[in-house]
Amino acid sequence: MLVVLALGNPGARYAATRHNIGWMVADAVAEKLGATFAPARGEYYEARASIGDVPVVLVKPTTYMNNSGIAAAQLAERHSVAPESMLVLTDEIQFPVGRIQLKPSGSSGGHNGVESVIYHLGTHDFPRLRCGVGKDFGPGEMVDYVLSGFPAGEKQIVEEMIAQARDAVLVWASEGTARAMNLINTRADAKPREDGERVANDT
């Protein structure tokens, strides 16, 4: 079994915000596969599907961003899912809007949701698909920025990013992390910084 864990915040208030781009991608994957999200026996919503012969569970934690790892731990225990079989979908302020990157492992880069997954799984070694949301904010403005929506002028590029990320998830599930990275990461030499400023009370 494979798990796709989309980071974000529950509720209509957060649905269209930059921080919830992972949920938007998960919704696009579910739509493509004809799957529907429903409450699960844990602190998350899930949608079950298959890609080829491989069962896939799409997951949206309901614990808010900072505690996303609770759902990861519940899934790992309940389904005996290894960390390398759990793809985390997350927003990334170090990337411009529209850019995505797949990594097989790594640090949290200061992202509280990813940090929670690392803590609860006890490892950095899980793949993550990072979706760019830009960095157009000043000192102390990051929380308001990631909890705001995309402006109308970015609508097309956001839609294209979601479609690209959706297809990346499908490639990852069917062909594995290494193959997906080769197809998705078209600019491996343009590695972004991971030490951008984040704040501890990021929601």
pLDDT in tens, 179-193: 999 989 864 334 444
Residue 113 domain flag: yes
What is d(CA 186, CA 128) in angstroms, rounded to the nearest whole number? 16
User: Is residue 61 a contact partner of residue 7, using CB atoms and an 8 Å limit?
Assistant: yes
* pLDDT of 67: 98
Q: How many domains does the chain have?
A: 1
pTM attached to this predicted model = 0.91
Reported as a pLDDT band with limits 50, 70 and 90, residue 199 is: very low
User: Is residue 141 a contact partner of residue 91, using CB atoms and an 8 Å limit?
Assistant: no
- 153: containing domain: 2-184
Q: Please list the active-site residues.
A: 19
CATH number at residue 43: 3.40.50.1470
Residue 199 domain flag: no
What is d(CA 148, CA 116) in angstroms, rounded to the nearest whole number? 22
Residue 202 domain flag: no
pLDDT tens, position by position, 147-180: 999 999 999 999 999 999 999 999 999 999 999 9
Give the phi and the psi of residue 102 in degrees, each rounded to 5: -105, 130
pLDDT tens, position by position, 71-127: 999 999 999 999 999 999 999 999 999 999 999 999 999 999 999 999 999 999 999
